[in-house]
A = this chain, B = another copy of it.
Amino acid sequence: MFTGMETAVYVHPNALCESSRIGEGTRVWAFAHVMDGATVGRDCNIGGNAFIESGVTVGDGVTIKNGVLIWNGVTIEDDVFIGPGAIFTNDRYPRSRRMAEVRHRYDRRNRWLEPTRICRGASIGAHATILCGVTIGPCAMIAAGAIVTRDVPPHQLAAGQPARTKGWVCACGVPLDDALRCSDCQSQYRFDGSTLAWAE
């Protein structure tokens, strides 16, 4: 269904890619489904059985592992990692729309859809659940199985149900020591007010 970039986008023969807005170098694997109206950047990897609904925007260089489900209203910035089976939401109080008592709530999208944003370089762990309406900051890391119910600041490591801070991580992913230094790539961070930022 995509035109003009056939040589540059790889869609597995068992995948379903209905969007024409997929960047060069992106690969879509078996049994994944990218709906028409979704936008995906360059050099992304979309794992098997993943689902990307119409209205989703995904940046460049994003890794989306198998079984990830991303709904309308979710924006994923560049270089994000989304672990296997992580699930997003877009309706805080869902009901089946065919039910008489709820039809008034589903008349207009702004009565039920809450947007979510995952900022540049963040990682979402395996099996994490991201409630709608939150922003996960740049280079934050959400632990496997965490349930994120509120905003997560840049570089924070958040874990648990609901997710709470457990420390801070480097852009390269390794936890920072007490002096806010990365033992792996030697980057030094400091707090700029309450926000962690790269220092040197």
Q: Which residues of A are in contact with B by a Cβ distance under 8 Å?
A: 14, 16, 30-31, 33, 43, 47-49, 51, 60-63, 65-67, 69, 71, 79-81, 83-85, 87-89, 93-99, 101-102, 104-105, 121, 123, 125-127, 129, 131, 141, 144-145, 147, 160-161, 169-175, 184-185
Contacts and interface: CB of A to CB of B under 8 A. Distances in A.
B101 A94 contact: no
Contact of A33 (B30, B62, B97, B161): B30
Given A80-B96, A93-B141, A125-B94, A171 B49 contact: no
Contact of A175 (B93, B98, B125, B174): B93
A98 B43 contact: yes
A123 to B, nearest CB: 5
A13 B79 CA distance: 33
In the complex, the count of this chain's copies comes to 3
7 contacts: A63-B96, A80-B96, A85-B85, A95-B121, A101-B172, A102-B172, A127-B129
A35 to B, nearest CB: 10
B67 A105 contact: no
B126 A145 contact: no
A128 B3 CA distance: 39
A151 to B, nearest CB: 16
B67 A94 contact: no
A51 B48 contact: yes
A49 B84 CA distance: 13
A198 B167 CA distance: 42
B125 A101 contact: no
A30 to B, nearest CB: 5
A87 B66 CA distance: 10
B48 A102 contact: no
A87 B67 CA distance: 10
